[in-house]
């Protein structure tokens, strides 16, 4: 069985419908935790997901770890050993014609593999991603799917940038060239909002990289055209 999980906050007017479509296509069950959105995010999700939960309080920018742990707990409550768990954020888009291959991969991959690595492209507009010393996610493999086990799971104890899965969720990850378009940086107003949020909650860069935070507002970033089909 393939389980999907998403943590969402005020995504109604962004890429939510697209991500929900993709997750529902890939997954047998989709679990969503809403961080007390004040737009229509929760209502949209209730129409497109198997299980949707809404937090009593918003921890956005305060304690991401607590919300990620809660989402993991809700998802794994019905997971069995050997099941796959996919986690995408509401601004992460797969290339549509890769969906069938991903589904096939998850159903046929060796039992020795317990994670799938994707390439993450930080899109600075609809067609171009950023590429410089602080923006190199597309050069690395990011685990977006893990095979559930009965191990004792542990987390990176960080209130920001803690990771979407427990730190030891995958010990044998298969790296792939499958791209994910991270659209959360693709609009100037979103970049400004993220910059202000990071500087407010992590002004010294203890949970991230301060120089990267400051680079968000670069006037002439180095961009490369996204070549995924």
pLDDT at position 179 is: 97
Q: Taking the CA atoms of 199, 117, 35 and 23 in sequence, report the sign of the dihedral they define.
A: positive
State how far the Cα of 67 lies from the Cα of 217, in Å rounded to an integer: 28
Q: How does strand 84-87 pair with strand 128-130?
A: unpaired
HSE, CB side, 13 Å, CA atoms: give it for residue 191. 20
pLDDT at 122: 98
Q: CA-to-CA distance for 180 and 177, rounded, in angstroms?
A: 10
User: What does the domain layout of the chain look like in residue ranges?
Assistant: 2-225
Q: Which two tokens stand for residue 18?
A: 């697209």
- Judge contact between 114 and 174, C-beta under 8 A: no
Which DSSP symbol is given to 151? Answer: S
Q: Decide if 185 contacts 92 (C-beta within 8 A).
A: no
Q: Look at residue 215 in the predicted model and tell me its pLDDT.
A: 97
In the CATH scheme, what is the code of domain 2-225?
Answer: 3.90.550
Per-residue pLDDT of the chain (229 residues; tens, 9 = 90+): 999 999 999 999 999 999 999 999 999 999 999 999 999 999 999 999 999 999 999 888 788 999 999 999 999 999 999 999 999 999 999 999 999 999 999 999 988 999 999 999 999 999 999 999 999 999 999 999 999 998 899 999 888 888 999 999 999 999 999 999 999 999 999 999 999 989 998 999 988 899 999 999 999 999 999 986 5
The burial class, CB within 10 Å (0-12 / 13-18 / 19+), for 49 is buried
Please tell me the distance from the alpha carbon of residue 50 to that of residue 5, in angstroms, as a whole number.
Answer: 10
Strands (E), the chain: 2-8, 29-34, 51-54, 84-87, 92-94, 115-122, 128-130, 142-147, 173-182, 223-225
Dihedral class, residue 82 (left if φ above 0, else alpha if ψ from -120 to 50, else beta): left
Instruction: Determine how many CB atoms are found less than 10 A away from the CB of residue 204.
Output: 8
């Amino acid at each position: 069985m393939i389980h999907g999980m998403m943590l969402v906050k005020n995504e109604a007017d962004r890429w939510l419908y697209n991500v929900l479509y993709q997750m529902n296509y890939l997954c047998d069950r989709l679990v969503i935790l809403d961080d007390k959105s004040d737009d229509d995010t929760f209502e949209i999700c209730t129409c497109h997901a198997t299980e949707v939960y809404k937090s009593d309080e918003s921890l956005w920018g305060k304690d991401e770890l607590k919300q990620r742990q809660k989402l993991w707990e809700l998802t794994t409550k019905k997971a069995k050993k050997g099941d796959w768990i996919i986690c995408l954020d509401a601004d992460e888009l797969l290339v549509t014609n890769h969906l069938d291959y991903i589904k096939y991969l998850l159903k046929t991959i060796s039992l020795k593999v317990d994670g799938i690595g994707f390439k993450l492209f930080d899109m600075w507009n609809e067609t171009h991603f950023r590429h410089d010393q602080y923006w190199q996610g597309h050069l690395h493999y990011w685990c977006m799917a893990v095979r559930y086990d009965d191990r004792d799971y542990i987390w990176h104890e960080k209130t920001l940038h803690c990771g979407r899965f427990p730190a030891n969720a995958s010990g044998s990850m298969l790296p792939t060239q499958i791209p994910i378009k991270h659209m959360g940086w693709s609009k100037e107003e979103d970049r400004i909002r993220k910059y202000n949020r990071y500087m407010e909650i992590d002004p010294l860069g203890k949970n991230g990289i301060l120089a990267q935070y400051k680079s968000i507002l670069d006037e002439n970033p180095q961009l490369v055209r996204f070549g995924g089909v």
